[in-house]
Amino acid sequence: MENSNAFLSFLLKPFFLGLYLGIIGCIVLFVRMQMRIHELKKELKKLKEHLHTKLEIDAEATEDRKSKFNKLKEENENLRVSLQTVNNKPGRKEVRQFHIYQKALDIMFEKAPGFAPAWQNALKEGELEMKNIDKGIFPFIKRLSGGGIGDSSQEPLPDKSDE
């Protein structure tokens, strides 16, 4: 028993007591570190899931925006083609040209004091000439053959489609 007492007294020396306290402190710190690592891994996993969810939502929103953009682009192209078709319908250019002439006439009535009476006289002469042309078969044949509207001495108006 003396050996065990000697061994026990050897182990209870201040050096070994400090060593024991140091080892116990290291074990406590190691356990706390392992617990902290475990907590950080859980938090990292949670953050990865959150990031994954956010990226999915962002990708979905981006896809939605792209599809809306493509849809609007296609709709814009369809509207452009429709507008071009409407603008190219027969008579559309004539109606537009009529509105331009009407606007020019309104401006001339306002700005030029002698224009209105002269215009009214010219308009009446033109209407009278058209009534004369519309009477009888000879003017009708003349119109169909391309002899022009009115006197045969008048030249036909130049075609503006070349411009």
Give the confidence band of 46 by pLDDT, cuts at 50, 70, 90. very high
**Residue 152 resides in a domain:** no
For residue 112, the model assigns a pLDDT of 77
Is 160 inside a domain boundary? Answer: no
Is the same domain home to 131 and 107? yes
**Does 81 score more than 70 pLDDT?**
yes
Evaluate whether residue 161 is within a structural domain. no
Does any domain span residue 42? yes
Quick one: 66 and 98 in the same domain?
Answer: no
Q: For the purposes of burial, counting CB atoms within 10 Å of the CB of 149, is it exposed (0-12), middle (13-18) or buried (19 or more)?
A: middle
Q: What mean pLDDT is predicted for residues 26-51? A: 97
Q: Are residues 72 and 100 in the same domain?
A: no
83, 108, 134: which is the final residue of a domain? 83
pLDDT of residue 73: 95
Q: How far apart are CA 101 and CA 107, in angstroms?
A: 10
Q: What does the pLDDT average to over 81-91?
A: 78
* 41 lies in some domain: yes
- Region 55-62: mean pLDDT is 95
Q: What confidence category does residue 107 fall into, taking pLDDT thresholds of 50, 70 and 90?
A: confident
Are 8 and 79 contained in the same domain?
Answer: yes
pLDDT greater at residue 88 or residue 22: 22
Domain count, the chain: 2
For residue 159, pLDDT over 80 is answered with no
Over 90: is that where the pLDDT of 47 sits?
Answer: yes
Question: 7 with 78, same domain?
Answer: yes
Residue 136 predicted with pLDDT over 50? yes
Any domain includes 159: no
pLDDT beyond 80 at 151: no
Domain check: are 7 and 74 in the same one?
Answer: yes
List the domain range (segments joined by +) for residue 130. Answer: 92-146
Instruction: State the Cα–Cα distance between residues 119 and 109, nearest whole angstrom.
Output: 9
Evaluate if residue 97 carries a pLDDT over 70: yes
pTM for this predicted structure:
0.39
Cα distance between residue 123 and residue 118, in whole Å: 9
Q: Do residue 100 and residue 122 come from a single domain?
A: yes
In a domain? residue 151: no
Please indicate, yes or no, whether residues 71 and 127 belong to a single structural domain of this protein: no
Same domain, 7 and 49: yes
Contact of 148 with 155, CB cutoff 8 Å: yes
Query: Which two tokens mark 150?
Result: 């009115």
